[in-house]
Amino acid sequence: MTRCNAVTRLLPLLDDVQRIIGWQGEYRATVSPAGITCRTDHSTLVQNWSVFQGYRETADHFVLLSRDPNIMYLGVLPKRGVYEAEGLDRLRAVLDQRTTRM
């Protein structure tokens, strides 16, 4: 199974994951030319673009895949977190500039 196929199969599980980690509070992600910073009430994770092999866009999410072939790490950016109409186009442009669409 390719990584992209694995992502497609895992996407329905995202709602379950959100229920499991809900205790951490609000999840906020900031995308910049330097990378992605994810914050909850209890943690901060900073990821440089070099961590990611590429991304795949679905109807509701941008899913980033780990560069390490031995780790099935996914970074998930829900589209509902983008508040401005042109925000999705800006986010897509940053992703296209910094990583590969798969």
DSSP element (H, E) containing 93: helix 87-98
What is the sign, positive or negative, of the torsion defined by CA atoms of 2, 20, 62, 45?
negative
Q: Which of 74 and 100 is assigned the larger pLDDT?
A: 100
> In whole numbers, what is the pLDDT of the chain averaged over residues?
81
Structure confidence by residue, pLDDT tens digits, 22-57 = 666 777 889 999 999 988 888 898 999 999 999 999
- Please, which pLDDT band fits residue 99 given cuts at 50, 70 and 90? very high
